[in-house]
Chains A and B, each alone.
Chain A
Amino acid sequence: AQSVSQHNHHVILSEAASLELGCNYSYGGTVNLFWYVQYPGQHLQLLLKYFSGDPLVKGIKGFEAEFIKSKFSFNLRKPSVQWSDTAEYFCAVNGGFKTIFGAGTRLFVKA
């Protein structure tokens, strides 16, 4: 069965620190991969997506993610976080005609 695992449920960082959120999935076929963000009081927004081509994808607000097929991973990174990045981040995998979301990682950035 398809599953998505996000390694950290809560992350606390200071401004300007680097961020890496882990995401691993299990699915044997071709997948599309996504990271969504949910800012406090707002709805889910797409940060970035991978469906083919260059495994390093760049998204909005300086985020990027690298698809490593051999490791079934799609980790999200940002070199320098800002207070405004405080939000919940969801990794999602689409394979087999439905999308499975990870449990989410709550990021709190201290000003």
Chain B
Amino acid sequence: KAGVTQTPRYLIKTRGQQVTLSCSPISGHRSVSWYQQTPGQGLQFLFEYFSETQRNKGNFPGRFSGRQFSNSRSEMNVSTLELGDSALYLCASSLTRLGQGDTDTQYFGPGTRLTVL
């Protein structure tokens, strides 16, 4: 099976712009979660999507949003970019929703490295 794929792998934007990141989960996986990884804050949970609905959200401002399509692919959008949004954005997929036991093991993609200038 192909793993989790994320596009693009690298992105450079300037402050004030907006960006959309894409994630394709492992075939058959219905849950997609997004994380922000920075040297200072580590891995922080952004949100989880399951069956096209946001199921849970971390402590991030409303500038961070996402959606999931019927084929389970997900996109994450960040509007009005700030310098502090520079990070590695990771997508993870799992068979079921988080908290469902053995089937909620997450498999991570390679990430999208976003640099905001």
A interface vs B, CB < 8 Å? 32, 34, 36, 42-46, 49, 51-52, 90, 92, 94-104
Encoded as 1 (CB less than 8 Å from any A CB) or 0, chain B from 82 to 111 comes to 000000001010000111011011111111
Query: B35's closest neighbor in chain A, by CB?
Result: A101
Residue of A36, A49, A97 near B98 (CB, 8 A) is A97
Quote the shortest CB–CB distance from A50 to chain B (angstroms).
Answer: 10
Residues of chain A with a CB closer than 8 A to B45's CB: 98-101
User: 20 A-B residue contacts at CB 8 Å?
Assistant: A34-B105, A43-B110, A44-B90, A44-B92, A44-B108, A46-B105, A46-B106, A51-B102, A90-B42, A90-B43, A94-B104, A96-B99, A97-B56, A97-B97, A97-B98, A98-B99, A101-B43, A101-B45, A103-B42, A104-B42
Residue of B44, B102, B109 near A43 (CB, 8 A) is B109
Known: A44-B90, A46-B105, A102-B42. Is A97-B99 also a contact (CB below 8 A)?
A: yes
Do B106 and A52 touch across chains, with their CB atoms under 8 A apart? no
Known: A32-B104, A34-B105, A44-B90. Is A95-B99 also a contact (CB below 8 A)?
A: yes
Residues of chain B with a CB closer than 8 A to A96's CB: 99
Residues of chain B with a CB closer than 8 A to A94's CB: 98-99, 104
Q: How far is the CA of A44 from the CA of B4 in the complex (A)?
A: 11
Residues of chain A with a CB closer than 8 A to B99's CB: 32, 94-98
Do A43 and B104 touch across chains, with their CB atoms under 8 A apart? no
7 nearest CB pairs, A to B:
A101-B43, A44-B108, A97-B99, A43-B110, A103-B42, A98-B56, A97-B56
Point out which of A43, A45, A103, A104 has the most chain B C-beta atoms below 10 A from its C-beta: A43
CB of B24 within 8 Å of the partner chain: no
Known: A32-B101, A51-B101, A103-B42. Is A97-B48 also a contact (CB below 8 A)?
A: yes
Residues of chain B with a CB closer than 8 A to A44's CB: 90, 92, 108
CB of B15 within 8 Å of the partner chain: no
Quote the shortest CB–CB distance from A62 to chain B (angstroms).
Answer: 20
Residues of chain B with a CB closer than 8 A to A36's CB: 108
Residues of chain B with a CB closer than 8 A to A101's CB: 35, 42-45
Taking A46-B105, A97-B55, A99-B33 as known contacts, 12 extra A-B pairs with beta carbons closer than 8 A to each other, sorted by chain A number, are A32-B104, A43-B110, A44-B90, A44-B92, A90-B43, A94-B99, A95-B99, A97-B97, A97-B98, A101-B44, A102-B42, A104-B43
